[in-house]
Structures are given as structure tokens and as C-alpha cells.
Structure 1
Amino acid sequence: MQAVIVEAKRTPFGDKNGMLKDYRPEQLAAPLIQHLSQVMTPDDVILGNVVGGGGNMARLSSLEAGLSLHIPGMTIDRQCASGLEAIRTACVMVQSGEGSMYIAGGTESISKSPMKERARFSPEWIGDPHMGEAAELTASRFSVTRKEQDDYALLSWERSIEAFKQGTYSEEIVPIDGLNTDEAAAKIRPITRLIKRAKPVFLKEGTVTVTNSCKEADGAAAVVVMERAEAEAKGLKPKLRYVRSAVTAMHPHFPAASPIDAIKKLLHKEQIKAQDVALFEINEAFALKVALIARTLGIPYDRINRRGGALCLGHPYSASGAAMMVRLFYEAHALPKGSYVVAAIGTGGGVGLAVLCQVLS
């Protein structure tokens, strides 16, 4: 059996305590679930959620959306990889024959989170640095300069600004109460000057700044995963076929580097090279991450995050990995049939996850 993605959407993303601050995570997910369930009633809803305060967020969101009481719901927490892990899990479930249709993704309201402090990523005897401090440790360990980070940040911001100008994000979005544009669209400023002038945030002589790292955000993203034969029998046209995935882990002090081993393992398992992949979506928690991955794996920037990413739009934790898959779904329009695409993300605690798909149409 083959798992395919037949539809993909996200909400607009709002800054923490911004335009979506009054929406609970299930209220962010509900419009997506309602929209995606028009394809077909799902066997299950699988969602990632990190700071919602507990409970089965997928079940709650499914009920909030008005789906049948008989659809169970499952919630996953793999920190920032949670939404992508939800999609991966749905694909594996379809391939195993456990079900034929799933709604999978992630939802996050950082504004509404009841958690006063972040969760621990690592025990005291190993050390548990703040993600910004861990980014600085990674930059030092792998000799990633401030200039490398700023150069990529500028490119990403310019790509996001161009996406806003061209309206290319709009095809990804399901509105929430009339809100149909990312909050960042109204806050674009002359970024070139800001990037050059920004001061280090975490270390006085550091390299990580507010302009080469992401901001926290609220939002949700999800896809419809189906068994290919059933999807085609219903007249649907799958865009992406799930090929395989890989998850790895490394020292918790260097989470920004964690997708590297995951991507390497993934490519090795499929016996392909990085240059065989037409497009990568890599989470931009920090520009450092993309700069390091691109350099280490020899991936040119023209094959990474062509529409920009979290540096401009923001990072709604568990929704970010799902949003990358949404973006690949729409980028598939411009890629030749048979092209490979990869979504990869790293998390607090040093876990990396990478998912490989192939363009079908």
C-alpha cells in the first residue's frame, strides 16, 4: 500500500499575543479539520501539540470541528517535530493497512499556553540550555559565523516578502473568522538594515540575533493522508507520495545540527544523494540551522525554503513541521513528476526528523 497526500492547508500564523491570541489550540485546528474532512471522513485525527497543557488535543480539536463522536484522535509530542511526526505516523498507518484516511498535522497556541516555563529537554547532569543558548553552542561547535547566519536570514526574509507580494501564501491558508493573511504581512520592515544592526541576544559576543532567529507564533497546519488506490478510485489526485522517513538524536546541546544525521540516514536508506532532492523544507528556528545543514550536505540555497519560512512567519512549535509539508504540497505544482522533496526539522533535546516524499502530479 502507498500513502499519499491529497490535500494540505494551514491557518494564518499570528505573533505570540498577536491577532490569534484569543484562540485556543483546538479552535485553531478546528477550521482546518472541518475543511480537510470534506475530502472524506477520516479514520482518525493525529495532531502534534507541545504547550497546550495536556489532554488529547487531537480528540478535542476533532470534537470542536464537529466531526463524528466515533473518530478517536491521537496527540503526539515530539516537541517542534510533533506536527511532522503526526504526518509521518499517519503515512505509516496507511502503509500498514491500519486505516485508509487520516487528518494529520499540528496546532499550537503559545499565547494561550498555561505553561509558565518551558519543559525540560535534558537532565541536569547533561545540561539543559535555552534554545538560544544551544544555538550559540552549535554555532561555536561547528564554526558558523554571524555573516553566514545573516546572509541566509536576509535571503529567507526576502523570499517571504516576495511571497506576500505575489500572494503565494494564500493558497496554503484556511481563514479563521475572516483572518486570511499571516500577521507578518503587516509588519514587514526594511530588513537589510535591521539584520546588520541587530545585537546578539543570548551571548554578548554571540552570533544569534532577533533577525536571524524566529519569533514565537500561534497557528495550525494539517494534511490529508490516504491510501493511494482508494484516493484515485474516488477521483482524487494525490500530489505527494510518502517514501520513507528517518529520526535520529544527538547531544542535547546542539539541536540545530540534529536534522543533519536524520537527512543523511534518510538518503542512505533510499540510496539517493542530496543532489537528487529537488526541494528541501528545513525549519528556520534559527538561520544557523539552515546555513549549517546547507554547508554540511552541500545543498544550494535555491533548493531550500523557496518561499521563506519561520524567520519571517514565526514558529508555532508543533505546527511548523506540518506547515513545511503543506508548503511542499503546493511547491509540487512547479516540480517535475517523480521529483523528490524532503521536510526536515530539529527539536529541543537534540532530535532530528526527516521525511522524504515523491511528486506524483
Structure 2
Amino acid sequence: MLDLPSSTPVIVAARRTPIAAIGHRLAQLNLTGLTSPVLRAVCEDAEGLVAATDGIRDVVLGNCMGPGGNPARLAALAAGLGTQVPGGTVDRQCGSGLAAILDAAAPIRAGDPGLRLAGGAESPSTAPARSFEGVPYARAAFAPEGFSDPDMPQAAEDLAAADGITRQRQDSYAMQSHRRAADALTAGRLRSELVPLGGLKADEGIGRRPEVIPRLRPLVDGGTVTAGNSTRINDGAAAVLLAPASATQARMVPGLALRSQAIMGCDPALPGLGAAPALQRALAELGADVGDLAAVEIVEAFAAQTLAVLDRLGIAEDDPRVCAEGGALALGHPWGASGAVAVVRLFSRLVRSGAPAGTLGAAAVSVGGGLGIAAVVEVVR
């Protein structure tokens, strides 16, 4: 085991649902139905550690389009964790899942010895319609009056234009994501992280024919962003179990130590850029750089946005470290869950795969309204 401070948060188990398109295979499950089986699975994966401690202290979940009512508390109760286990829900839009994990880690870092469950969930299929004074609206504002507040496809289009990111480059990146995910599915590398639900045992988006992507029409007239180089609207959930290093080291439990993190703002007009400065700050606080990372998971909401982030980080778009088994363009993007899905993917790529102690990885998300969230993790064994 690495010699970590005893209060270092360590992710010791990580699971997620398969991801399905809105109205498809998981449409019959609400947020509680999506999340509670994942919470149970994570606890079962670490049942020895849970039994050896005083159990779960809290559940923190990210969600941005649900019905309210504190979905984390509902999921904790439905998972059978007991009435004594509280819950709290975080909204940082599509960064909510990663933000929830970082929020859950804070008490551990401050010296609390208890275990915590954290992650995110989104069910657009069951989300309530929104209205104000009887007038429906699709989403809340991401920025106040006086600031640019583009819809996400337009924001991706604006970023592609600002950076000169061509349609060909976006399509090529999207096809790469699909091919990597298909290869991972065929090789069985995704299976161990999944909790099958609703008869669905694999991510619904995998298997789409990437060769059709260059034939699709732009979403904006004269633009470069298409349905093929953008992610879909999806249902899904993901969760992890965090424990202090004092508990994991005493029992030789492998996992991912949370070594550094950052949450930053950026121009709301170009929200897709947020992941870049957030990851740069998280790395700088650790005294590391992108060359030290063995695995990177960036939430691929749009190919244009992901490419813009990679360009600023100085990472090649075909770098095998980045979304090596496909990202959100192929797997799907269940908004409030996606940041947690990225962490589950890191857990599989580094811990389940047997990467040596000391190996570094990172997860990063760009968020509507102009935010970036990032975390750097290190393998412990």
C-alpha cells in the first residue's frame, strides 16, 4: 500500500447501470429505481469493509432534472440501508455525479472515519415537465440576464467555430469512441462494472454503426455539430463507495485514492472548455502534469467540446489513455450521472485491470453555464 495520510478518501467499489436512450429500455424506472440497485451492488462488492466498520454514514447523489424531494434519501431508503442513513442531492448540472463524489469525500478528508456512498442518476424518461405560470420550458437558465446562455448544441457549434474544429475531425473522434466501446464490449471489459436492469445488460448505444456518422445532417444550418458527433439524452445511474485510507490500509483493500480536485468557472458562452482549466488546476495542486496520467475519462458530451479540451491540455485526440473503452459519445450521457460514470470507468480501467500502485488517472467534466470539474486519483493496493 502507498503511505497515504489516514484521512485520504479512497474509492473501494464502483458500479453503474447500463445506459439507455430516453424512452427506451430503462424508461420504466424512476430515479429511485435506477439508483437503489446500484447502491446495493456497491455495498455488496465491499461487504467485508462495510461489516468491519460502523456502516454507511451518508449517501450523496448528483441529479439535475429530477422531481426533487431529495432523490439521494429516497434511494438510500429503497436500497435498504436503514432509516439512520441520511442522503443529500447535489446539482452542478452534468457535473453533478463527480461533484457528489467530491462532496462526499470532504468529511473523510476532514477526519470522519465513516464510509460514504456517492454518485449520480438521471432519468429524463420520468422527469416531470417544467412550467412557470402555465408556460412550459425545456430547461432552467444556465446564466442570468446579461450573459450568454446558449443551448448545448449551439454552444458546441460556437466552440467548434471559435477553435476551427472541422466536421471531419469531430466525426473521426466520434467514430473512434464508438469503435473503442464496441471493442471493449466484445472483450467483456465492461461487464464487471454493470448492474443489469430492466433486462438491459449492456449500454444501449454500443453497436450503432459508426460509418453512418459522416452522412448525418448538422443540427444547425451550415454547422458541423450533428447527432452523430454528439451524445444522446440518456437514463442511467452510477455510484462508488468511499472510505478513509486508515480503513483500507488496515485491511489491504485496493482502490482509487482521491489525490486532488478542482472546480472552476469559465465563460458561459463557451461552457465546453471548463474541463481543461479544472484538470490543469487539479494536476498543478498535485505537482503533476498530463504526461503523468495513465488513464483519462473526459465526459464526451460533444466531439467538438472534447477536442477543444484535449487541444488545451496538449493531448492528441487518438491518445489511447483518453476514454480508452469509449466515452459518452458511444456509451451515453445521463447528465447527473455522467461524472460518476467517468469515475466508475477509471475504477475498471485501473483497479479491476490490475494497474500497479501509484498509477494516476483523472476524470473531468465540462458543465453547462460555464463550469469545469476534475479529480485526479491514484491506485492503491
TM-score range, shorter chain: over 0.9
What is the match of residue 73 of structure 1?
87
- Does structure 1 residue 103 correspond to structure 2 residue 124? no
What is the match of residue 257 of structure 2?
241
What is the match of residue 146 of structure 1?
167
What is the match of residue 19 of structure 1?
25
Return the offset for 1:334.
4.7
Given that 2:276 and 2:310 are in contact with CA atoms closer than 8 Å, whether structure 1 keeps it comes out as no
| Aligned 1:163-312 pairs, distance under 5 A | 163-185=184-206, 188-192=207-211, 194-201=212-219, 203-233=220-250, 235=251, 237-300=253-316, 301-312=319-330
Counterpart of 1:136 (choices 157, 177, 180) is: 157
Given that 2:26 and 2:198 are in contact with CA atoms closer than 8 Å, whether structure 1 keeps it comes out as no
String of CA shifts for 1:211-250, please: whole Å, max 9, x gaps. Answer: 11000110100000001121343x3522211101011111
- Does structure 1 residue 35 correspond to structure 2 residue 37? no
- Does structure 1 residue 360 correspond to structure 2 residue 377? no
Alpha-carbon distance in 1 for matches of 2:208, 2:341? 24
Give the secondary structure class of the aligned counterpart of 2:127: coil
Give the secondary structure class of the aligned counterpart of 1:302: coil
The Cα RMSD (Å) is 1.4
Give the percent of matched residue pairs that are identical in Structure 1 and Structure 2: 39
Unaligned stretches of 5+ in structure 1?
Answer: none
The one-letter code matched in structure 1 to 2:18 is P
Give the secondary structure class of the aligned counterpart of 1:7: strand
Comparing 139-148 and 154-163, the one that deviates more: 139-148
Alpha-carbon distance in 2 for matches of 1:236, 1:204? 57
* Length-normalised TM-score, structure 2: 0.90
Unaligned stretches of 5+ in structure 2?
Answer: 1-6, 131-137
The one-letter code matched in structure 2 to 1:181 is A
What is the match of residue 61 of structure 2?
47
What is the match of residue 344 of structure 1?
364
Alpha-carbon distance in 1 for matches of 2:69, 2:34? 16
Given that 2:294 and 2:360 are in contact with CA atoms closer than 8 Å, whether structure 1 keeps it comes out as yes
What is the match of residue 88 of structure 1?
102
Alpha-carbon distance in 2 for matches of 1:177, 1:195? 29
Alpha-carbon distance in 2 for matches of 1:151, 1:274? 23
The count of aligned residue pairs is 356
Comparing 25-34 and 293-302, the one that deviates more: 293-302
Alpha-carbon distance in 2 for matches of 1:161, 1:35? 25
* Length-normalised TM-score, structure 1: 0.95
Comparing 85-94 and 334-343, the one that deviates more: 334-343
The one-letter code matched in structure 2 to 1:246 is A
Given that 1:53 and 1:115 are in contact with CA atoms closer than 8 Å, whether structure 2 keeps it comes out as no
Given that 2:155 and 2:269 are in contact with CA atoms closer than 8 Å, whether structure 1 keeps it comes out as yes
Given that 2:66 and 2:128 are in contact with CA atoms closer than 8 Å, whether structure 1 keeps it comes out as yes
Alpha-carbon distance in 1 for matches of 2:226, 2:32? 32
Runs of 4+ in 1 over 4 A off after TM superposition: none
What is the match of residue 159 of structure 1?
180
Given that 2:25 and 2:198 are in contact with CA atoms closer than 8 Å, whether structure 1 keeps it comes out as no
What is the match of residue 3 of structure 2?
none
String of CA shifts for 1:121-160, please: whole Å, max 9, x gaps. Answer: 0123213211001111111122222122112111111101
- Does structure 1 residue 326 correspond to structure 2 residue 329? no
Given that 1:9 and 1:32 are in contact with CA atoms closer than 8 Å, whether structure 2 keeps it comes out as yes
Comparing 318-327 and 91-100, the one that deviates more: 91-100
Given that 1:78 and 1:85 are in contact with CA atoms closer than 8 Å, whether structure 2 keeps it comes out as yes
Give the secondary structure class of the aligned counterpart of 1:242: strand
